[in-house]
Chains A and B, each alone.
Chain A
């Protein structure tokens, strides 16, 4: 089935909403990287529903597509999306941080649908090029996506991988940058500026598109143009907002990792639905 045929922005919006609810529920009893996760929700929901050929039924098929989540802090968004796709049992999300399951702070392959472990930044760009090279060697058509954080781009290995992807003309590879403008604790442009980011990738040989990472029409238009240029690796810079969907944590450096009380979770769920302003107390926040 070609998922690109079923573009339905209302459905995507509804799914993204559910994924955000899952993330909020994971941000208690030990917490999670909620701010970092919420920026990638729309991106991940779009890719799985309208671009990637990955379903609960084809995980063992070598002709399916691949998504590597190099920015490991986004994993609650991936857990939630995999649950909504029926790849991961939704009930398992309640096992977040349990010693009896494998739903923890970084991706791992014990979760169905997760391709590779991550958490140490700048590793998966090179793993992804290895997969893309093999697909080329075998004459396959599968697509390989690697989602990177913008802070992650500080790591030199991201740029080494870009050089190699260009040398090997990996036009089946797409680096997607979750450009939420934050490192862990600090705004990227204040600490280690990345701009002009599109020019940097272009100078490394990539075909680059820059879009609003929360706008499904923009995502659909960009990814429908894949491959962007024959023989060139593809890069999508998705401009996003840390904490998107929750005004009380949106774009705040100190709400990257949070561990909320049960009451606050209830308030945040109301806030997500747009009819409530959460009064968070700083005591409940843990910034790692």
Chain B
């Protein structure tokens, strides 16, 4: 059965530049010590040291594929990622597990919901977010083969959707919409598809775009979406620095404008519980998303800074 671990094993067997690293978080690579031998390196619970060591390995021509929980990989080791991989432009491939809502009942310490913002802020760093396991498997070969450092928001959820082939810097345009286009990435793709179905039943022409490659980003996909009456940016990330910001930057760069409804986490960590309850409570089910889109009226739907709503 092909899954993330099988694909990585196959890749590492075919190319001995690959080393697989973890800071004692083996959920994705549990069988690799047995299959990869001494090219599997577990540095213990030491995210910063692991990134520094990855840079050292990359200096010697290796391609380290680096595993930890997304929150700790991106934030605890941030300066090491920026300084050791970013400044040197070394091909460290960061695989962040349980990003966004996927950390469900872990609580705010484990919520990687600023990861897109901070990782795309590093020069040379590329950023990717697969919609599900099929998308992940289609994306990783190109990401691992590229010469740059890369951060992937790992998502191993199984869905029935069969994705298009992947190309760095290109979005997957599922459908074009005249009334509404939903731009999304990662876990929220599933809910975007549900929302689109509900909206189409209401007679709207709806587009759905799986952004996949957040940096480099597909500017044409964003500009095409801007031709719709309404653009929705849907993400399990803070509204600051994620897809909403990427769309805003892209539109301004091309001196164009659009009606944009951001659906994201607005200045608060999400309420911890099991995933279906989190989606419902935070208003991110396909049905709730469709209702918000149907209720869209004016620029009054733009995000406000909400002060007293932290989960902690």
Q: Which residues of A contact B (CB under 8 A)?
A: 30, 72, 97-99, 102, 104-106, 108-110, 117-122, 151-152, 154-156, 183-186, 191-192, 287-288
| B48-A156 in contact (CB<8A) | yes
The distance in angstroms between the C-alpha atoms of A185 and B30, with both chains bound, is 10
The residue from A98, A105, A118, A156 contacting B49, defined by CB atoms under 8 A apart:
A156
The distance in angstroms between the C-alpha atoms of A30 and B46, with both chains bound, is 28
In the complex, how many angstroms separate the beta carbon of B310 from the nearest chain A beta carbon? 11
Q: Which residues of B contact A (CB under 8 A)?
A: 24-27, 30, 42-46, 48-49, 71-72, 76, 105-110, 271-274, 277-278, 280-281, 312
| B45-A118 in contact (CB<8A) | no
Given contacts A30-B274, A151-B24, A183-B44, contact A97 B105 (CB under 8 A): yes
The residue from B26, B42, B45, B106 contacting A121, defined by CB atoms under 8 A apart:
B45
The residue from A117, A183, A184, A288 contacting B109, defined by CB atoms under 8 A apart:
A117
The distance in angstroms between the C-alpha atoms of A98 and B272, with both chains bound, is 8
Please name all residues of chain B whose beta carbon is closer than 8 Å to the beta carbon of A192 when the two chains form the complex: 43-46
A-B contact pairs, 16 of them (CB 8 A): A30-B274, A99-B273, A106-B107, A106-B109, A108-B107, A119-B110, A120-B110, A122-B45, A151-B44, A154-B46, A183-B24, A183-B44, A184-B24, A185-B24, A191-B24, A192-B46
The distance in angstroms between the C-alpha atoms of A72 and B45, with both chains bound, is 14
Number of A-B contacts (CB under 8 A): 85
| A119-B106 in contact (CB<8A) | yes
Given contacts A120-B71, A183-B24, contact A191 B106 (CB under 8 A): no
Given contacts A30-B274, A108-B312, A183-B24, contact A155 B107 (CB under 8 A): no
| A110-B107 in contact (CB<8A) | no
In the complex, how many angstroms separate the beta carbon of B8 from the nearest chain A beta carbon? 18
Please name all residues of chain B whose beta carbon is closer than 8 Å to the beta carbon of A104 when the two chains form the complex: 105-107, 272-273
Best-surrounded residue of B24, B27, B277 (most CB of chain A within 10 A): B24
The distance in angstroms between the C-alpha atoms of A41 and B105, with both chains bound, is 22
The residue from B45, B105, B272 contacting A155, defined by CB atoms under 8 A apart:
B45
The residue from A99, A110, A152 contacting B45, defined by CB atoms under 8 A apart:
A152
Given contacts A72-B109, A106-B109, A120-B109, contact A156 B27 (CB under 8 A): no
